[in-house]
Amino acid sequence: MNDISKISNTAHIYDNVVIEDGVVIHDYVVIYPGTIVKAGAEIYDHCTIGKIPTSTGSTAKTYSDDYGTTVIGNNCILCPNVVIYTGTKIGNNTLIGDNCSIRENCVIGDFDIISRNVTVNYETTIGSHTKIMDNTHITGNMTIGNNVFISVCVSSTNDNSMGRDSNATEKLQGPIISDYATIGASASLLPGVHIGKNAIVGSAALVTKDVPENKVVMGIPAKVVRDVNQNTNKNQSSIGNSHFQCIAVGETASFTKTISESDVYNFAGITGDFNPVHISDIDAQKSIFHTRIAHGMLSGSLISTVLGTKLPGEGTIYLEQNLKFLKPVYFNDSITAKVKVVECVNSEKGIYKLSTSLTNQHGEIVTDGYAIVKVAQQNRPKDT
């Protein structure tokens, strides 16, 4: 635990918990082993993180009694009374509202909003820039894409037998909701249905079969009533890019990867850089590092990943990159690339300056610098 983090005296934090810089933990929070709370996260009163699921024997599903790795991403906010089960990983800048429960082994993306009293069952995946509103139930083994909006009181299910089949746990499948889809208030989604890209499910609809992309469905059972009209489609695209259209000084994004031995060999093969310090144990032992290290530009390329896929995102053009290599990156180091918007250099041309850094699993900055990029037209703020 870092001194610069603020942790309440009433919080109970078990051994084998990693808390990075700038974390705020409020009263009566319980954090179980195997949890990583990343930089800038804030966890409010009475939250429970990394809990192992338990059963009295009344459930068909079996549970492990081992703690998995639970991750709370950079700059996340967990509001009061949130319960996050073990093995769940929450991305960066995501808000989890009051009284939410997220079961084991879920994956939740970046810049999501999981609003008050939402329940997310086991082994469900939720993309980035997705919003799930109050009192909605997201069933187990469900997949939700990016830029999805799910309104209040939506229900989803994954068991067509409704508990009558003793072998149901082997074939449970929740709905699949594709990117940019919108689900109206109080809609019900039956097991295994696929909601197509940019589709709209009307309020109180009962979805019993797949919904094609770019279609509006309504009714009980839900039926196609029309295409998603052109204006609605444009609005959906606008919603999908809302994060980028609000790009502003101070905004951050990150990406983490563990650098493996095979990554180093592949990079050497692609670039032709067979420097012995990277590929030869014997020669590396004679170096100042006394062991093999990764290429500086291999870890540096993770910055390009963030710039091209997260912030500013798709269509970004690299104009300039400055790097200062401060510490070596060793095999199996977990490296987090982080970028932060620090200046709009030219608003007419969409040129921005971003600070760039690489940090290892110990919180040490291994590479520092800045990038100059040109942001794609559709990703610029509206006033540019």
- Residue where a domain terminates, one of 242, 260, 278: 242
Q: Which residues pair with 42 in a beta bridge?
A: 24, 77
Q: Which pLDDT score, from 0 to 100, does residue 37 have?
A: 97
The CATH code of the domain that includes 340 is 3.10.129.10
228 plus 352 within the same structural domain? no
| Cα distance from N-terminal residue to C-terminal residue, the chain | 43
The CATH code of the domain that includes 44 is 2.160.10.10
Overall pTM > 0.75: no
279 plus 291 within the same structural domain? yes
Q: Answer yes or no: is 263 within a domain.
A: yes
Give the Å distances, CA to CA, from 148 to 176, 181, 365.
Answer: 11, 5, 35
Q: Cβ(160)–Cβ(176) under 8 Å?
A: no
112 plus 20 within the same structural domain? yes
105 plus 76 within the same structural domain? yes
Q: Answer yes or no: is 300 within a domain.
A: yes
229 plus 255 within the same structural domain? no
251 plus 214 within the same structural domain? no
Q: Which pLDDT score, from 0 to 100, does residue 147 have?
A: 95
pLDDT string in tens for the chain (384-residue length): 444 689 999 999 999 999 999 999 999 999 999 999 999 999 999 999 999 988 666 565 666 678 899 999 999 999 999 999 999 999 999 999 999 999 999 999 999 999 999 999 999 999 999 999 999 999 999 999 999 999 999 999 988 666 655 555 556 789 999 999 999 999 999 999 999 999 999 999 999 999 999 999 999 999 998 898 644 444 443 333 333 334 677 888 999 999 999 999 999 999 999 999 999 889 889 999 999 999 999 999 999 999 988 888 888 899 999 999 999 999 999 999 999 999 888 877 889 999 999 999 999 999 999 999 998 765 445 443
144 plus 231 within the same structural domain? yes
238 plus 293 within the same structural domain? no
Name the residue range of residue 272's domain. Answer: 246-379
Q: Cβ(217)–Cβ(223) under 8 Å?
A: yes
Q: Answer yes or no: is 384 within a domain.
A: no
Q: Answer yes or no: is 335 within a domain.
A: yes
> What is the number of structural domains in the chain?
2
Longest dimension (CA), the chain: 73
123 plus 157 within the same structural domain? yes
Q: Cβ(201)–Cβ(170) under 8 Å?
A: no
Nearest to 43 by CA among 15, 69, 17: 17
237 plus 271 within the same structural domain? no
Neighbouring residues of 381: CB distance < 8 A, sequence distance ≥ 6: 245, 246, 247, 248, 347
236 plus 347 within the same structural domain? no
Q: What is the DSSP string of 75-98?
A: T-EE-TT-EEETT-EE-TT-EE-T
Instruction: Look up residue 31 and give its two tokens.
Output: 């954090």
- Residue where a domain terminates, one of 226, 242, 258: 242
- Residue where a domain terminates, one of 227, 242, 257: 242
180 plus 230 within the same structural domain? yes
Q: Which pLDDT score, from 0 to 100, does residue 82 have?
A: 97
**Pairing outcome for strands 70-72 and 83-85:** unpaired
Q: Answer yes or no: is 1 within a domain.
A: no
Q: Answer yes or no: is 218 within a domain.
A: yes
Q: Which pLDDT score, from 0 to 100, does residue 56 have?
A: 67
- H/E stretch holding 235: helix 230-240
Long-range contacts of 210-217 (CB under 8 A, 24+ apart): 213/178
